[in-house]
Amino acid sequence: MADDTQLADPPRDVIAPGYTFGSITDQIAAVVLTKRTPVFWMACFSVGFGLLLLFLWAVAMLLAKGVGIWGIRTPVMWGFAITNFVWWIGIGHAGTLISAILLLLNQRWRNSINRFAEAMTLFAVACAGMFPLLHLGRPWLFYWLFPLPNSMGVMPNFRSPLVWDVFAVSTYATVSLLFWYVGLMPDLATLRDRAGNRIARLVYGVMALGWRGSARHWSVYETASLLLAGLATPLVLSVHTVVSFDFTIAIVPGWHSTFFPPYFVAGAIYSGFAMVLALAIPVRSVYGLQGLITGKHLENAAKVMLATGLIVAYAYILETFTAWYSGDVFEQAAIWHRMTGPYAFSYWALITCNILLPQALWFKRVRTSPVALFISSIFVLVGMWLERYVIIVSSLAQDFMNSSWGIFHATRWDWATYLGTIGMFLFLFFLFIRLLPMISIFEVRTLLPQAKVEKESRP
Amino acid sequence: MTTPIYGLMAEFDSPTALVRAARAAREKGYRKLDAYSPFPIEDLSGALDLHKNKLPLIVLAGGIAGLIAGYLLQYFVTVWYYPINIAGRPLHSWPSYVVIAFETTILFAALSAVLGLLALCGLPMPYHPVFNAPRFALASRNRFFLCIESRDPLFDRAQTGEFLLTLDPKEVSEVAH
């Protein structure tokens, strides 16, 4: 039955016609194995590297002077640090969604974009991890977060969502790395077999662990991929749920709400798909990969963005409704302050970026235009950052007692650290596309019609 | 007497030809054989009669171990090693253990999936005789290989070679040890 539908409608739109096993291999491997580096790569890498240096400078200042160089003052002690943490972690979630959930749902279009989306996850989690770490004030004591026996005889409090977060995020980073590496193994073997340079052959060979494509190995490998996908799926949902627990378990007005977990997960996928589009659109045109990352991929990603964006819109409406309906004056005041208070500009900007503008994605003309998609994905990324900023800062700035209110102003070091992690992300991402295959070669081979074994009519 | 070899390797240019050849070799009675392909081919498991692997069991065991370890860690710390009374709640506050126990379950299960994969495949393996086959580098590009190993009781250098040639391969070559 499934075979019949396959034959009736070959996956022509997830891969351009005319590709062969050899040409797929050559095209993707050539990006890595060539000596020629495109100017686009140099430019993006330079921007990333420059901002990474800014990050190192900001961190050095932070270590020398303390977290006071940031704008965090009582009562807004979370400020940019936690905003950026939640934003980056959320961006990472699309990678796991594409690699794990879409694998379980048998969505074959994921095969061409899962590799770089997973890399995006890893680097986004690395950037996210920087913020709670630096926000500790004394980052060199970070290991106090783990239950390690120590001479002070103290232990972390396992009833605190902040400790849950440590476990959730470190598990997420580890599992994402494992999943990514397992996916890379067969492609590293391809690079080993194709590299002309001795050193490259040695390095890729060591990393491929001696993969030889044996049928016995492939059968275990397929089981392992499915199991890892099955494990990563609940994990990714749990991670942003736990991140939302950082807020909901507290009683701060505007935070203490049961719909935060699904709202945060949807927002995470929303911003993550925006980042996938923002990366895929320029990269595919520079490297001429339009035949592998086709318009179909961009359109599907846009549809996911539209759907999750509507869930986020529903959450905003529900948030306002619940505050009104609860009859709780503090909840009502918190929402009212968001809409009309000192952060009103950010609030309405986020509504514009996250809800109003992305409605353009209803139109097929927008979804099929890479430029329009790129612009809308940038808007969504900005909007989702503003959303976290408004949730965190406006709730903390004006809570129960007028006497303890205080307004947050970001300092130049807040901005330097934030822009610095964007630099770190670009730096790592462009190193990745230069050194490793950015599209999963072996999975794209399976998209070809000739990869299907013809059934012989056995007597 | 020539030097012993690892086996004979036949090269094919499509997955269909490989599956057909593997099936034919099994029917002929060969048992020590393996196929090499640039991507997973589901039909090969049937053609080579590969048994279900034990990986799901390994992962289940890892997950259960992670669950128990995560729960006991929290129980040990909050009840016995470092008890803190928070608002008079019981020390064994199991609902708040759920998140960390869940995360350690996933962590241990994922680690056992990857380590189990490597263990069942015998990787990392820096040297393997099949890499001596002259055109084997193409097994990671666009060619499909079937290797009948010399430890198979039916293996005979001349006869097996002739048999492989009947399967319509691109090339048949000897694989040195």
> Under a CB-based contact definition with an 8 Å cutoff, are residues A397 and A408 in contact?
yes
Among A155, A171, A446, whose Cβ lies nearest the Cβ of B81? A155
> Which helix (H) or strand (E) covers residue A262, if one does?
helix A260-286
**How far are the Cα atoms of A49, A319, B17 from residue B45, in angstroms, in the given order?**
47, 53, 15
Comparing alpha-carbon positions, the chain A residue that sits nearest to B75 is A158
d(CA A161, CA A243): 8
Token duo for residue A399: 């809570």
pLDDT (mean) for A272-279:
92
Among candidates A182, A188, A178, which has minimal Cα distance to A125? A178
d(CA A373, CA A375): 5
d(CA B108, CA A174): 10
Distance between the two ends of chain A, CA-based, in angstroms? 22
CB contact (8 A) between residue A171 and residue B139:
no
CB contact (8 A) between residue B128 and residue A155:
no
Domain boundaries, chain B: 5-51+129-176, 55-121
Q: Give the pLDDT score at A456.
A: 64
Q: Is A37 on the interface with B (CB under 8 A)?
A: no
> Under a CB-based contact definition with an 8 Å cutoff, are residues A225 and A182 in contact?
yes
For A401-407, the CB contacts below 8 A with 24+ separation are A404/A74, A404/A75, A405/A75, A406/A73, A406/A74, A406/A75, A406/A76, A407/A76, A407/A342
Q: Give the pLDDT score at A234.
A: 92
Distance from CA of B97 to the nearest CA of A (A): 7
Chain B residues in contact with A228 by the CB 8 A cut-off are 110, 113-114
Residue from B33, B99, B108, B131 to probe the interface with A (highest A Cβ count within 10 Å)? B99
d(CA A121, CA A125): 6
Q: Give the pLDDT score at B100.
A: 94
Token duo for residue A324: 């009104």
Comparing alpha-carbon positions, the chain B residue that sits nearest to A245 is B99
Distance from CA of B158 to the nearest CA of A (A): 25
Amino acid at A268: A
CB contact (8 A) between residue A213 and residue B78:
no
CB contact (8 A) between residue B103 and residue A164:
yes
Comparing alpha-carbon positions, the chain B residue that sits nearest to A221 is B117
CB contact (8 A) between residue A221 and residue B16:
no
Distance from CA of A49 to the nearest CA of B (A): 33
d(CA A25, CA A219): 22
Q: Give the pLDDT score at B23.
A: 87
> Under a CB-based contact definition with an 8 Å cutoff, are residues A429 and A48 in contact?
yes
Q: Give the pLDDT score at A458.
A: 52
Token duo for residue A13: 């739109």
Q: Is A137 on the interface with B (CB under 8 A)?
A: no
pLDDT < 50 positions in chain B: none
Q: Is A264 on the interface with B (CB under 8 A)?
A: no
Q: Is A347 exposed, middle or buried, given 0-12, 13-18 or 19+ CB atoms closer than 10 A?
A: buried
Token duo for residue B122: 């015998």
Token duo for residue A72: 């965090």
Q: Structure pTM? A: 0.90
Q: A11 pLDDT exceeds 70?
A: no
d(CA A203, CA A128): 29
Q: Is A16 helix (H, G, I), strand (E, B) or coil?
A: coil
Chain B residues in contact with A261 by the CB 8 A cut-off are none
Token duo for residue A215: 């049928």
CB contact (8 A) between residue A193 and residue B35:
no
Q: What part of A 293-312 touches B (C-beta under 8 Å)?
A: none
Q: Is B61 exposed, middle or buried, given 0-12, 13-18 or 19+ CB atoms closer than 10 A?
A: middle
ipTM, two decimals, is 0.91
Radius of gyration of chain A (CA): 23
- The CATH number of the domain where A276 resides is what? 1.20.1630.10
d(CA A392, CA A77): 10
Q: Is A397 on the interface with B (CB under 8 A)?
A: no
pLDDT (mean) for A402-421:
92
Q: Domain count for chain A, please give it.
A: 1
Among A158, A193, A205, whose Cβ lies nearest the Cβ of B141? A193
d(CA A243, CA A240): 5
Q: Which of A21-30, A374-383, A396-405, B33-42 has the largest mean confidence?
A: A374-383
CB contact (8 A) between residue A174 and residue B93:
no
Domain coverage including residue A274: 4-145+153-457
> How many residue pairs bridge chain A and chain B with CB atoms within 8 Å of each other?
198
Distance from CA of A167 to the nearest CA of B (A): 6
d(CA A212, CA B38): 9
Helices A260-286 and A39-65 meet at what angle, rounded to 10?
140
Is the domain defined by B5-51+129-176 classed in CATH 3.30.70?
yes
Q: Give the pLDDT score at A384.
A: 93
d(CA A166, CA A85): 12
pLDDT (mean) for A310-326:
92
Model confidence band, residue A345 (pLDDT cutoffs 50, 70, 90): very high
Residue from B14, B20, B33, B39 to probe the interface with A (highest A Cβ count within 10 Å)? B39
pLDDT (mean) for A28-54:
90
Comparing alpha-carbon positions, the chain A residue that sits nearest to B125 is A210
- The secondary structure of B42-92 as a DSSP string is HHHHHHTTPPPPSHHHHHHHHHHHHHHHHHHHHHIIIIIIS---STT--S-
d(CA A84, CA B74): 30
